[in-house]
Amino acid sequence: MLSTTAPGTTPGLDAAAGLDLQASFETALQGLGLSAGAAHLLWLPLPMVLVLVAAVVGVLVNVWLERKISAAVQQRIGPEYAGALGVLQPIADGMKLVFKEDIIPARADGLLFTLGPVLVLIPVILSWLVVPFGQHLLISNVGVGIFLWISLSSIQPIGLLMSGYASNNKYSLLGGLRAAAQSISYEIPLALAVLAVVMMSNSLSTVDIVDQQTGAGILSWNIWRQPVGFVIFWICALAECERLPFDLPEAEEELVAGYQTEYSGMKFALFYLGSYINLVLSALLVSVLYLGGWGFPLPVEWLAGWLGQPVDAPVVQVITASVGIVMTVLKAYLLVFLAILLRWTTPRVRIDQLLDLGWKFLLPIALVNLLVTAGLKLAFPAFFGG
């Protein structure tokens, strides 16, 4: 949804760049007699609302998957009475939280207590700015894209620490401190793993990173060139989302619910929403960084060529865009499935093991991975981004 459609090309049908909905929308509005500025203003809220809705629906699907897959792994049935196969269960859960009494404990710090969950949720939702579902299907192709996500995700521990401290409860404080320690420790190997990918694609922009993986379909995906980076990134993403085996901040057997202990009602729902949006976001970013983003395992251009269709035909463009969205979501949810399966496979690590893994294992390996990538880029610029 860039406003960089080159002059001279038909707006909305730029062959090289694919479908550009913004340009088509604005020209249509201008055709109705609106000024260019007004058309742009009318366009602006659309992708934002759309992505917000997509994020929330993604969370609902995620919660349903979590419950159903967890049930299947444990040979249970799981929710089945709220809607067909229990698909409405997440909505029922959400409605329950909305109508629950919103309690601020008497001895808690009211302002920080309220601000905490907000600070946790907002950066996660803001990060959806840079998630691309297609060449032009993202809110904003920021030049610093992936770096924006990394910096936004470091705001989160402040919110966690804040809510843990403001609850005035030893479990909450311990949970908050653990969350902060965990987030800070795992951000470094995460950033280093991302840096290796960025080095190969010579850009921080998520669109450029995907574009660099579109040459030969599945073979050009970054996972083949960055297998170690992929594993490091996935482990760190799980740790950042506080998913098992890294759910120490909430470890219910030791800390009741960690920093969430004193929360109920909508404030708890914000934490809940935040953690699931974060999981979907991480899965989406893994698919963008390592699994070719919106790319089909076979390049769509080849398929169109075999079927004798011109790549810039409107029908092909629409199909390509739809396939792109489906592929992005499919890859992300495959990773979510893996995360849920891992949840029931791996036991929780201790806090010292967690920090050991982060600082003594992942960090050096991520550094070596970065150096090796740099070396390979110099040695084989054709394969590792010249």
Partner 1 sequence: MFGFLKKVGDYTRDAVGAANYMTQGLAVTFDHLRRRPVTVQYPYEKLIPSERYRGRIHYEFDKCIACEVCVRVCPINLPVVDWVMNKATKKKELRNYSIDFGVCIFCGNCVEYCPTNCLSMTEEYELAAFDRHSLNYDNIALGRLPTSVTSDPAVFALRELAYLPKGEMDPHGVPDTAPRVGRLPEQVLETLPKTEPAAAAATSKEKA
Stretch that binds partner 1, among 109-117, 300-308, 341-349, 373-381 (CB under 8 A): 341-349
Which member of 344, 371, 375, 383 binds partner 1 (CB under 8 A)?
344
Among 41, 49, 57, 73, binds partner 1 (CB under 8 A): 73
Return the H-helix or E-strand segment holding 19. strand 18-19
336 Cβ contact partners less than 8 Å away, ≥ 6 residues apart: 62, 65, 279, 280, 283
**369, 191 contact by CB (below 8 A):** no
User: Length of the chain, please?
Assistant: 386
- Can residue 353 be called a binding residue for partner 1 (CB under 8 A)? no
- Specify the residue, 120 or 283, whose C-beta has the smaller distance to partner 1: 283
- Least Å distance between CB 289 and partner 1? 21
Instruction: Compare residues 101 and 352 and give the one whose CB is closer to partner 1.
Output: 352
- 69 in contact with partner 1 (CB under 8 A): yes
**Number of amino acids touching partner 1 (CB under 8 A):** 14
* Contact range with partner 1 by CB under 8 A, out of 164-172, 284-292, 320-328, 338-346: 338-346
User: ∠ CA(219), CA(243), CA(204), 5° rounding?
Assistant: 45
Angle made by CA atoms 51, 241, 329, in degrees to the nearest 5? 40
Do 381 and 225 form a contact (C-beta atoms < 8 A)? Answer: no
**Residue 345 in contact with partner 1, rule: CB under 8 A:** yes
Residue 76 found at the interface with partner 1 (CB under 8 A) = yes
Nearer to partner 1, 73 or 111 (CB): 73
DSSP letter, residue 83: S
Q: Rounded to the nearest whole angstrom, what is the least distance from the CB of residue 364 to partner 1 in the complex?
A: 9
Say whether residue 74 binds partner 1 (CB under 8 A).
yes
Stretch touching partner 1 by CB under 8 A, among 1-9, 73-81, 161-169, 285-293? 73-81
- Is position 354 an interface residue for partner 1 (rule: CB under 8 A)? no
Any contact of residue 363 with partner 1 (CB under 8 A)? Answer: no
**Is residue 72 a contact point for partner 1 (CB under 8 A)?**
yes
Least distance CB 349 / partner 1 (angstroms): 11
Residue 283 CB, nearest approach to partner 1 (Å): 17
Q: Residue 342 Cβ, how far from partner 1 at the closest point, in Å? A: 7
Could you count the other beta carbons within 10 Å of the beta carbon of residue 352?
8
Find the binder of partner 1 among 6, 16, 75, 307 (CB under 8 A).
75
Q: Are 190 and 246 in contact (CB under 8 A)?
A: no
Contact residue for partner 1 among 17, 61, 71, 319 (CB under 8 A): 71
* Least distance in angstroms from the C-beta of 189 to partner 1: 14
Rule CB under 8 A: choose which of 46, 311, 342, 349 binds partner 1: 342
Asked if residue 371 binds partner 1 (CB under 8 A), the reply is no
- Could you identify the residue written with the tokens 């029931």? 344
CA dist 202 to 91, 195, 279, Å? 42, 10, 27
19 forms bridges with which residues in the sheet?
13
Token code pair at residue 180:
């902060």
Closest by alpha carbon to 277, among 71, 91, 53, 30? 53
> For 22, phi and psi rounded to 5 degrees?
-60, -50
CB of 77 to partner 1, least distance (A): 5
Placement of tokens 């809705």 in the chain: 53
Minimum CB distance to partner 1 smaller for 322 or for 346: 346
Q: Write down the least CB distance from residue 90 to partner 1, Å.
A: 20
Does 341 interact with partner 1 (rule: CB under 8 A)?
yes
Give 73 or 219: the residue with its C-beta nearer to partner 1: 73
Under 8 Å between Cβ of 69 and 337: yes
Instruction: Find the helix packing angle between 110-126 and 156-166, rounded to 10°.
Output: 160
Q: How many CB atoms lie within 10 A of CB 365?
A: 17
Copy the structure tokens of residue 210.
């995907």
- Asked whether position 326 contacts partner 1 by CB under 8 A, the answer is no
Q: How far is 33 from 41, CA to CA, in rounded Å?
A: 14
Q: Are 82 and 89 in contact (CB under 8 A)?
A: yes
User: By the criterion CB under 8 A, which residues form the site for partner 1?
Assistant: 69, 71-77, 341-342, 344-346, 361
